[in-house]
């Protein structure tokens, strides 16, 4: 009779320890789950919840993550990192090149996809040259570059695509609206790299001799191109994902298991959170009052709490000033960790490669993001 309480105590202690370990390993997912759960008490689940989930975005993320895992498994990024070091001979130029690649890549394949593609490359470059001290800074700069670089094109960021379609903004006008903020962001990003990174000579201290398989490399790059085609709606996301899964089941099943499913669940939780926030009358009334005073500031502030895509959707119902709204949801992508879901991708990736350095990463992230947010908001406000 006395053994039962001990068993119960052991079970309770085990469950508590397991939960705490999960929270420690997945802080962003845990926070996303909690805030989503809180809003579910305010807005009980109903049929409208199904509209929250952007299945195309989730499919694009899954497909790109799977292909990137497959490319990593054949040492593709390690091999490319050596080529980059050979071309760019010092630390500053390498980090600048990695940042620029992410920035311009976000214009073509959207910010989320650019980060998933180029963050592993940065890790291998810095790890192979014994420059891990710049890892946090580089990841933060790539995150900023992805969020701000994609602002110049309608398909560079999800919120751009939505506003471009919703307001029917002409291509020329779209570029003219975003050109100055883009030039400002590009200049500030470049200055930050020059300011904080020394031009130390680079050398590869750990050489990886793995020879790339031409067949597998070609196949995976074709799959990557297919994932990009999904982004541009060239092929339906269900067909594209079906092909990617089928090929990887044959060529690299391990890649499918390596996908960061925690990131996908984090996105789902934030879809619920932002969707519910948009349905709370008090939040709508509050936002409506702010928008009537300043669309720009309302958008920037809103992004810090419900992220930029939900802000674009929500505020588009309150204003016809699409120029200021467009600028605000792009600038507002920097700031807090949840101001852009792209930031969650970077954070999750950094946790995988340098968990002990999380505090350093968050400090650098906060300082750089809020500095850029304040400077860009002030400058654009006086344009």
As a whole number of angstroms, the distance between CA 230 and CA 26 comes to 29
Question: Coil, strand, or helix at residue 90?
Answer: strand
For residue 239, the Cα-to-chain-centroid distance in whole angstroms is 24
201-205-208 Cα angle (round to 5): 130
User: What Å distances lie between residue 54 and 57, 240, 309, 361, CA to CA?
Assistant: 5, 16, 11, 29
User: What Å distances lie between residue 295 and 36, 127, 279, 289, 309, CA to CA?
Assistant: 26, 43, 20, 10, 15
pLDDT at 213: 85
What are the pLDDT tens digits along the chain (383 aa)?
Answer: 455 555 555 577 777 777 777 777 776 678 778 888 999 999 999 999 988 887 877 887 788 888 888 988 888 877 776 677 777 878 999 999 999 989 988 887 678 878 888 898 889 889 888 888 999 999 999 999 999 998 988 877 878 877 887 788 888 899 999 999 999 999 999 999 999 999 988 766 555 555 778 899 999 999 988 987 886 678 898 999 999 999 999 999 999 998 888 878 877 887 888 788 778 888 777 777 788 889 999 999 988 987 887 788 778 878 889 999 999 999 999 999 888 878 988 998 898 899 889 999 999 999 999 999 999 999 999 87
H or E element in which residue 172 lies: helix 171-196
H or E element in which residue 27 lies: helix 27-42
As a whole number of angstroms, the distance between CA 111 and CA 225 comes to 16
For residue 43, the Cα-to-chain-centroid distance in whole angstroms is 27
Distinct helix (H) and strand (E) counts, the chain: 19, 0
> How is residue 245 written in tokens?
């899964």
The pTM for the full model equals 0.76
| Environment class of 104 (CB within 10 Å of its CB; exposed 0-12, middle 13-18, buried 19+) | middle
- Residue 158's contacts (CB-CB under 8 Å, 6 or more residues apart) are 54, 57, 110, 112, 309
């Amino acid at each position: 009779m006395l053994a039962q309480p001990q068993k119960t105590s052991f079970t309770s202690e085990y469950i508590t320890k397991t939960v705490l370990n999960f929270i420690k390993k997945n802080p962003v997912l845990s926070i996303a789950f909690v805030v989503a759960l809180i809003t579910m008490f305010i807005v009980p689940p109903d049929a409208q919840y199904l509209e929250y989930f952007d299945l195309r975005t989730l499919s694009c993320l899954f497909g790109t993550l799977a292909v990137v895992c497959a490319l990593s498994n054949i040492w593709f990024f390690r091999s490319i990192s050596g080529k980059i070091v050979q071309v760019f001979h010092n630390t500053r130029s390498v980090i600048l090149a990695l940042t620029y690649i992410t920035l311009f890549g976000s214009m073509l394949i959207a910010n989320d996809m650019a980060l998933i593609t180029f963050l592993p490359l940065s890790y291998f470059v810095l790890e192979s040259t014994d420059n891990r001290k710049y890892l946090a800074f580089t990841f933060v700069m790539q995150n900023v570059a992805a969020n701000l670089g994609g602002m110049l094109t309608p398909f560079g960021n999800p919120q751009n695509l939505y506003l471009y379609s919703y307001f029917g903004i002409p291509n020329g006008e779209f570029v003219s609206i975003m050109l100055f903020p883009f030039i400002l962001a590009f200049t500030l990003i470049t200055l930050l790299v020059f300011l904080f990174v020394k031009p130390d000579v680079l050398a590869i201290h750990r050489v990886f001799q793995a020879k790339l398989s031409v067949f597998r490399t070609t196949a995976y790059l074709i799959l990557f191109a297919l994932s990009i085609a999904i982004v541009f709606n060239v092929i339906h996301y269900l067909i594209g994902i079906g092909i990617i899964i089928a090929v990887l089941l044959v060529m690299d099943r391990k890649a499918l298991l390596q996908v960061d499913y925690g990131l996908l669940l984090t996105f789902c939780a934030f879809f619920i959170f932002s969707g519910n926030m948009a349905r709370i009358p008090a939040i709508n009334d509050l936002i409506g009052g702010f928008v009537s005073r300043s669309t720009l500031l309302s958008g920037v502030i809103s992004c810090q709490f419900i992220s930029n895509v939900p802000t674009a959707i929500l505020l588009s119902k309150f204003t016809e000033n699409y120029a200021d709204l467009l600028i605000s949801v792009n600038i507002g992508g920097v700031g807090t960790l949840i101001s852009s879901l792209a930031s969650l991708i970077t954070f999750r990736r950094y946790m995988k490669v340098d968990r002990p350095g999380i505090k350093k990463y968050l400090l650098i992230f906060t300082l750089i993001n809020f500095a850029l947010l304040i400077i860009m908001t002030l400058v654009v406000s006086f344009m």
